[in-house]
């Protein structure tokens, strides 16, 4: 990725800034989704916690100007991120649910599900901007947030994940799907997982830290 999961990092840093609904607007506004291409075999479909690989272009709905293009970042490599856990703006988390590899979508995201009244100056997004994204999804992998995945990773059963345990899990998942990835993908994903989840910086991800967003049963 060079790329992220710095899990997206600069590229995704653009899309990972906090997106808070303004007042009661979120209830009245929704993401509009137009499917541009649907492969004959549409499986697996993305769900919360999955690790996605995608390209996307972002435009301002007001004048059609492009404010972001993933293909110009990181030597053109698609971006990796975990769906539904706040690594992208809320509107994209919604827009990319139930999406399968090879599918292309055009989505329109209202300000309340993007950058709201504050906008995002660094990304050249003005206040109260409606955004349009054209998305092409390449891969849907089991993400590192399911209860099943946690138990698979936690080889010694101590309810906390070491760097070695997560590293091995990522290697197994990458080998299982057989897809080609940039050589730096593994290390960058691993570093980003710890950056975003090891809140007490003790070198481990506890069951509580791992489940910041879901899975209270752990």
Closest-CA residue to 103 (of 25, 33, 13, 154): 33
How many residues are given for the chain? Answer: 218
What is the pTM for the complete model shown? 0.61
With a pLDDT cut of 90, the percent of the chain lying above it is 45
Q: Encode pLDDT of 119-174 as tens digits.
A: 999 889 999 999 999 999 999 987 756 666 778 888 999 989 999 998 998 888 78
Q: Encode pLDDT of 66-106 as tens digits.
A: 999 988 887 788 888 888 888 899 999 999 999 999 999 99
At 201 the pLDDT is: 93
At 211 the pLDDT is: 59
**CA distances in angstroms from 124 to 14, 59, 148, 149, 153, listed in the order given:** 10, 11, 40, 38, 40
Evaluate whether 135 touches 105 at the Cβ level (below 8 Å). Answer: yes
């Amino acid at each position: 990725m060079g790329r992220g999961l710095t899990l997206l990092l600069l590229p995704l840093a653009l899309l990972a800034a906090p997106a808070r609904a303004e007042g009661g607007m979120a209830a009245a506004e929704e993401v509009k989704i137009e499917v541009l291409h649907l492969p004959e075999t549409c499986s697996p479909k993305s769900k919360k916690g999955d690790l996605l690989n995608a390209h996307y272009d972002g435009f301002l709905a007001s004048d059609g100007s492009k404010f972001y293009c993933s293909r110009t970042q990181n030597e053109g490599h698609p971006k990796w991120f975990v769906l539904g856990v706040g690594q992208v703006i809320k509107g994209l988390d919604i827009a990319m649910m139930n999406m399968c590899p090879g599918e292309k979508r055009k989505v329109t995201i209202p300000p309340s599900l993007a950058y709201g009244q504050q906008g995002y100056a660094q990304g050249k997004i003005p206040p109260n901007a409606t955004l349009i994204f054209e998305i092409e999804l390449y891969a849907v992998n089991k993400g590192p947030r399911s209860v099943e995945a946690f138990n698979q990773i936690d080889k010694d059963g101590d309810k906390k994940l070491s760097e070695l345990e997560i590293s091995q899990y990522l290697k197994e998942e990458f080998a299982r799907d057989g897809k080609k990835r940039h050589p730096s993908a593994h290390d960058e994903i691993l570093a980003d997982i710890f950056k975003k989840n090891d809140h007490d910086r003790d070198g481990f991800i506890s069951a509580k830290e791992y489940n910041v967003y879901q899975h209270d049963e752990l």
